[in-house]
Structure 1
Amino acid sequence: MSEGISHRVGEVDLDAMMRAVVRKVGVYNPHGDRDRLWQAFRFGNEAHAGQLRKSGEPYFTHALTVAGILADLRLDVDTLVAGLLHDVVEDTGVTLDELRERFGEEVVHMVDGVTKISDIRSHSPDTRQAENYRKLVFSIAQDPRTVLIKLADRLHNMRTVEFLSPDRQQGMSRETLDVYAPLAHRFGLAKVKWELEDRAFKVLDPSAYFEVERGVKQSRTVRERVIEQIGRPLVDALSEAGIKTEISGRPKHFYSIYNKMKSQNVPLERVYDLYALRILVETKVDCYHALGIVHSMFTPLQDRIKDYIANPKANMYQSLHTTVQVTGGKFLEIQIRTHEMHERSEIGIAAHWRYKEGGANESIDFSRMVNWLRQMMEWEEDVADPREFMENMKIDLFQDEVFVFSPRGDLFQLPKGATPLDFAFEVHSEVGLHCAGAKVNGRIVSLATPLQSRDSVEILTSRNSHPSTSWLEIVKTAKARHHVRRWIRSTQFLDSVKLGREILVREIRKRKLDVDIDRDLEELGQQLGYSELDKLLAAVGAGDLTHAKILNRLDPSEKKSPQKLVDMGKDIYATFMRRRVSGVRIQGLDNLMVRYARCCEPIPGDEIVGVVTRGRGVSVHRMGCSNLQDADQERLIEVTWDVDADQIFMVKLTITGLDRKGLLADLSEAIHKVGVNIRSGDFQTDAELARATLLIEVRNLNNLDKVLKAVRRVPNVQQVERYQVD
Structure 2
Amino acid sequence: MTAADPRALPPYAQALKERIAYLPEAQVERVLSAYAVGAVAHAGQARQSGEPYITHPLAVAGILAELGLDAETLIAAILHDTLEDTALTREELTAQFGETVTALVDGVTKLDKMQFSSRQEADAESFRKMLLAMARDLRVILIKLADRLHNMRTLSAKDAASRRRIARETLEIYAPIAQRLGMNKFKAELQDLGFRALYPDRYRVLSERIRLALGNRREAMAKIEAALTTRLAEEQIPARVVGRIKSPWSIYTKMRNEHKSFAQLMDVYGFRVVVDSAMRCYMALGVVHALYKPVDRRFKDFIAIPKANGYQSLHTVLLGPFGAPIEVQIRTEEMDQVAERGVAAHWAYKSDSGPANSAQARAREWLAALADSQARTPSAAEFIENVKIDLFPDEVYLFTPRGDILALPRNATALDFAYAVHTDVGDHAVAARVDKKLVPLRTRLESGQMVEIITAPSAVPNPVWLEFVVTGKARTAIRQHLKHLQHEDAVDFGHRMLDRALAAQGSSLDAIPPAVLDRFLREAKLHRLEELLAEIALGNRMPDAVAGQLLAARGGKDHPAAKATLAQEKIRITGAERGVLSFANCCHPLPGDEIIGYLSPGKGIVVHRLECPNVAELRKSPERCVPIEWDRHVQGDYKAELRVEVINRPGVLATVAAAIADADSNIENVEYVERDAAAATLIFTMEVKSRKHLADVIRRVRRTGVVSGAYRHPL
In the superposition, the TM-score normalised over structure 1's length comes to: 0.84
Q: 1:79: how far off?
A: 0.8
Q: Say whether 1:15 aligns with 2:5.
A: no
SS of residue matched to 1:265: coil
Q: Which amino acid aligns with 2:98?
A: G
Q: Say whether 1:395 aligns with 2:389.
A: yes
Counterpart contact for 1:542–1:613, Cα < 8 Å: yes
SS of residue matched to 2:501: helix
Aligned match of 2:571 in 571, 576, 589?
Answer: 576
Please give the per-residue CA displacement for 1:280-302, whole angstroms capped at 9, x wherever unaligned.
11111111111111111111123
Q: Structure 1 residues 30, 673: CA separation in 2 closer, same or farther (over 3 Å shift)?
A: closer
Match for residue 542 of structure 2? 546
Matches within 5 A, 1:190-589: 190-271=184-265, 274-351=268-345, 353-354=347-348, 361-363=355-357, 365-513=359-507, 515-516=509-510, 519=514, 521-556=517-552, 572=567, 574-577=569-572, 580=574, 582=575
Q: 1:184: how far off?
A: 0.3
Matches within 5 A, 1:27-176: 28-31=22-25, 33-117=27-111, 118-121=113-116, 123=118, 129-176=123-170
Q: Distance in 1 between matches of 2:47 and 2:234?
A: 56
SS of residue matched to 2:376: coil
Q: Structure 1 residues 646, 484: CA separation in 2 closer, same or farther (over 3 Å shift)?
A: closer
Moved more, 39-48 or 64-73: 39-48
Counterpart contact for 1:491–1:591, Cα < 8 Å: no
Q: Structure 1 residues 525, 323: CA separation in 2 closer, same or farther (over 3 Å shift)?
A: same
SS of residue matched to 1:466: coil
Match for residue 563 of structure 1? none
Q: 1:669: how far off?
A: 8.4
Q: Which amino acid aligns with 1:619?
A: V
Q: 1:420: how far off?
A: 0.8
What is the aligned residue count? 684
Q: 1:537: how far off?
A: 2.5
Q: 1:185: how far off?
A: 0.8
Counterpart contact for 1:404–1:453, Cα < 8 Å: yes
Q: Distance in 2 between matches of 1:632 and 1:141?
A: 53
Q: Which amino acid aligns with 1:85?
A: L
Q: Distance in 1 between matches of 2:290 and 2:465?
A: 47
Moved more, 168-177 or 332-341: 168-177
Match for residue 618 of structure 2? 628
Match for residue 608 of structure 1? 595
Q: Structure 1 residues 721, 39: CA separation in 2 closer, same or farther (over 3 Å shift)?
A: same
Q: Distance in 2 between matches of 1:216 and 1:636?
A: 70
Counterpart contact for 1:247–1:279, Cα < 8 Å: yes
Q: 1:251: how far off?
A: 0.2
Counterpart contact for 2:338–2:359, Cα < 8 Å: no
Q: 1:134: how far off?
A: 0.9
In the superposition, the TM-score normalised over structure 2's length comes to: 0.85
Counterpart contact for 2:499–2:508, Cα < 8 Å: no
Counterpart contact for 1:654–1:723, Cα < 8 Å: no
Q: Distance in 1 between matches of 2:585 and 2:442?
A: 28
Q: Distance in 2 between matches of 1:44 and 1:177?
A: 30
Q: Structure 1 residues 571, 83: CA separation in 2 closer, same or farther (over 3 Å shift)?
A: same
SS of residue matched to 1:327: coil
Q: Distance in 2 between matches of 1:324 and 1:61?
A: 48
Q: Distance in 2 between matches of 1:31 and 1:360?
A: 25
Counterpart contact for 2:619–2:625, Cα < 8 Å: no
Q: Distance in 2 between matches of 1:678 and 1:120?
A: 45
Q: Which amino acid aligns with 2:229?
A: V
Counterpart contact for 1:600–1:723, Cα < 8 Å: yes
Q: Structure 1 residues 635, 222: CA separation in 2 closer, same or farther (over 3 Å shift)?
A: farther
Please give the per-residue CA displacement for 1:515-567, whole angstroms capped at 9, x wherever unaligned.
526935345323422222322322223333332343222212999xxxxxxxx
Q: 1:109: how far off?
A: 0.6
Match for residue 559 of structure 2? none
Q: 1:364: how far off?
A: 6.1
Q: Which amino acid aligns with 1:620?
A: V
Counterpart contact for 2:493–2:537, Cα < 8 Å: yes
> Which structure 2 residue ranges, 5 or more long, are not aligned?
556-564, 661-666
Q: Structure 1 residues 156, 557: CA separation in 2 closer, same or farther (over 3 Å shift)?
A: closer
> Which structure 1 residue ranges, 5 or more long, are not aligned?
9-13, 560-569, 583-588, 656-661
Q: 1:177: how far off?
A: 1.6
Q: Structure 1 residues 35, 631: CA separation in 2 closer, same or farther (over 3 Å shift)?
A: farther
SS of residue matched to 2:343: helix
Please give the per-residue CA displacement for 1:573-616, whole angstroms capped at 9, x wherever unaligned.
734226x2x4xxxxxx6665533212443356754212344454
